Structure 1
Amino acid sequence: MLSVWPTIEIVRAMTHVINQGMAMYWGTSRWSAMEIMEAYSVARQFNMIPPVCEQAEYHLFQREKVEVQLPELYHKIGVGAMTWSPLACGIISGKYGNGVPESSRASLKCYQWLKERIISEEGRKQQNKLKDLSPIAERLGCTLPQLAVAWCLRNEGVSSVLLGSSTPEQLIENLGAIQASTAALANKLQGISWCLCPQAVSHLSWPVLHRVLPKMTTHVVNEIDNILRNKPYSKKDYRS
C-alpha cells in the first residue's frame, strides 16, 4: 500500500513521528534504490528526515539488491541495509539436505511454496552447493548456519542481520557467528542466551561462538563465491 502513496507524504509522516519523540530513525522495507533515493531527495528539499536503512532479503542465494543496488546508496547518502532471512527460510540450515523432514517448516500446509522451492531442480542444486560449503565451515570451526550469518555480516553495507529462530537453541547457534569485540559484550550475549536456554549454554563452548566473523577473509569469501557462482556484478563492474 505504501508503494502507491506519495513519497512526500510518507517522508512527512515519518518526520512527524520522529519529531514527536515516538521514534529515533525510520527506514524502508523492500523499496527499490530509486524509491529510497526519491525519499532522500524529498527530505533534503523540504528539510525533513530521510530514511537511514533499507530492510532487504539477503543470503547466499539472494545477493543482487544488497550487493549491486544498495552499495551506491550506502556510499552516497549513508543508507545501510538491515537484512533478513540469512538462512533463506531454513534452506541453508542443513536440515533439507536429504529432503523435507516431517517436523520442518516446509512440511506445513501454509509453506507449500517453500517445499516446492526445496524439491525443485534449483533447490537440489542449492543443497549440493551447501554440501560443498560444509568443509569450509568445518575448517573455520563453525556450523553452516553460522557461516551463512557471518557471510552476511561481513558486507560493509550491512548494518545488522535479522535472525529468525523457532527454538532457543537455534538462536544461540546463529549468535555464534558474532565476534564479541569486548569481554563485556561477550558476557552480555552469554547472559541473554542463558536466560533463553540454560541447558544449551551449559553444553556450549562459548569462545567458539565468537571466532567466525574475523575469519571471513577475502580468501574465504572468494572460496565461497567459487562454489556458489552467483556473484552479481553491476554495469560499472563490466565497464571497468
Structure 2
Amino acid sequence: MQYRNLGRSGLKVSQLSYGAWVSFGNQLDVKEAKALLQTCRDHGVNFFDNAEVYANGRAEEIMGQAIRELGWKRSDVVVSTKIFWGGQGPNDKGLSRKHIVEGTKASLKRLDMDYVDVLYCHRPDISTPIEETVRAMNHVIDNGWAFYWGTSEWSAQQITEAWAVAQRLDLVGPIVEQPEYNLLARHKVESEYLPLYTNYGIGLTTWSPLASGVLTGKYKKGVIPPDSRFSLENYKNLASRSLVDDVLKKVDGLQPIADELGVPLAQLAIAWCAANPNVSSVICGATKESQIHENMKAIDVIPLLTPVVMEKIEAVVQSKPKRPDSYR
C-alpha cells in the first residue's frame, strides 16, 4: 500500500480506503464489520470513512465498536465522519454552528472516540453563511474534536469562498474535498476543481470509484444480482438512473481492455481513479472480505495504466471534460 499526503497537509492516508456507506447498519453488523475492517488493515489501509447520516448513526456505532473490539491503537488509523443530516428537527441538519457542534459531539459519542481525524461538511448549506460554518469548523478543531476539516460535494466557488473567509479571519480552511469520481463522473475533479489544487492545496478522498457497482460489469440489461446494492429497496431509483443503455455499452467496451491487462474490470476502474495525482485516497465499499481482497489488488494495476492504455480507456468512455482555457 502507498500512502499519500491528504492535500497539502501532513496527514498521510492510504491510497485506497474503506467507506461505511450502504454496508454498515444496512447490510452488516459488528461481527461482519470487524472482519472487513481487519482485512483492510491487513492490506495496509489506514483510512476509514463514515457519516452521521449513514444508517441514521448506526454505521458510526458499528465502526466504533468494531475498532474498539479489534483493539487497534487509535493513532494507527485515520477516521473521518461527515456532518449535515443529523435528524428530523429544524436544527438537526445543515451547517449551522449549533448543528456542527452538537452533531460532532453526537458522532464522537457513537464512534466512542475522543476525536476524528477529518470532519467533513457533507453538503453545502445555502441557508447558513459560509463564515458561520468556517468559524464553527475551527471551533471543532480548536477543541480537539477533529484535526482537519473538509467538504463533500461542494462547488469550487463554495470552497473558494470558505478559503477566503478563513484567510481573512486567520483561520484554518478546508484541506480536502470528497466528490464522486469515476470513469463516468469526472467534471468536478478534472475541470471545476483545477484551480483549487494549486491555490489551496486541496486533496481529494473520492467516492464511488465503481459507480455503485456499475463498473464491475456485474449488471447487465434487466439483470440485478440479488445480493447487490441495487437490489436494496432504498437504491431502486439509483439503479433505474444508472443502468441505462449508454452506460452499459461503455462498460462492455471496457471489458476487453481489462482482459488485455489480465485484471478484473473493477480493479481497472479503481486503479484509474487512484492514478490521478490529485486524488489522495479512493474510498471503496465492500460487504465481503473477498471484495476487499480483490479491490486492494488495484494498487498493482496502477503501473499498468500507461498513456496508451489510458487512451484506449478514453476512446471507450469518451467522458473527459473540456478544460476551461484559463485553467490550462
Is this contact kept in 2: 1:93–1:144, CA < 8 A?
yes
* Aligned residue number for residue 172 of structure 2: 49
- 2:230 counterpart of 1:106: yes
Task: State the alpha-carbon separation in 1 of the partners of residues 129 and 238 from structure 2.
Answer: 34
Give runs of aligned pairs for residues 1-240 of structure 1, distance below 5 A: 1-2=94-95, 3=125, 4-98=127-221, 99-119=223-243, 123-178=244-299, 211-236=300-325
Report the number of matched residues. 204
Structure with the largest fraction of strand: 2
Is this contact kept in 1: 2:205–2:279, CA < 8 A?
yes
| TM superposition shift of 1:104 | 2.4
Task: State the alpha-carbon separation in 2 of the partners of residues 16 and 103 from structure 1.
Answer: 43
Is this contact kept in 2: 1:84–1:163, CA < 8 A?
yes
| TM superposition shift of 1:118 | 4.2
SS of residue matched to 1:26? strand
Post-superposition Cα deviations, 1:95-122, rounded to whole Å, max 9, x if no partner, equal 1025222332222322211231244xxx
Q: What amino acid is aligned across from residue 263 of structure 2 in structure 1? A: C
Q: What amino acid is aligned across from residue 138 of structure 1 in structure 2? A: D
Q: Superposition RMSD on alpha carbons, in Å?
A: 1.7
Task: State the alpha-carbon separation in 2 of the partners of residues 93 and 114 from structure 1.
Answer: 16
Post-superposition Cα deviations, 1:55-92, rounded to whole Å, max 9, x if no partner, equal 10011111111110112101221111111011111111
Q: What amino acid is aligned across from residue 323 of structure 2 in structure 1? A: S
| TM superposition shift of 1:235 | 2.4
Segments ≥4 residues shifted beyond 6 Å: none
Overall identity of the aligned pairs, in %: 44
**TM-score relative to the length of structure 1:** 0.80
Return 5+ residue gaps in structure 1 as ranges: 179-210
**TM-score relative to the length of structure 2:** 0.59
Return 5+ residue gaps in structure 2 as ranges: 1-93, 96-124
Structure with the largest fraction of helix: 1
